[in-house]
Structure 1
Amino acid sequence: MIKKRVLCFSAILSIMVLSKLQSRPQGISIENPYKQIMLEHAARLKEEAKSPRNNSKAYFSSLTFAEASVPTEDVKVKSKLSQYLAKFSFKKVRSHEMHNRADKYLPKIAKILKSYGIPEDFKYIPIVESGLDPRVSSHKGAGGYWQFMPTTARLYGLKVNGNVDERKDFIKSTHAAARYLKSLYEEFGDWTLVAAAYNVGGGSLKSSIRNQKKDDYYKLRLNGETASYVYKIISVKEVIENPRMYGYKI
Structure 2
Amino acid sequence: MTGFDHPERAPRLLGAVTIVLTGAAGAIDAVTFFAFNEVFASTMTGNLVLLGLDVGRGRWFQALEALIAIVGYSSGLIAGTLSAGLAMRRWPWRNAVGVALTVELALLVAVGIGYYALSDPGELTLRAVLLVLGAAVAMGIQAAAMRYVGPAGTPTNFLTGTVTNWVSAMVELHKPSWNSNSALRIGAIVVFAGIGAVVQTHLPAFSYAVPVLLVAVAIGLMARVTVLNHGGLTTGDPQFAPDGARQES
Same fold (TM over 0.5): no
Is the radius of gyration larger for structure 1 or structure 2? 1
TM-score bucket (shorter structure): under 0.3
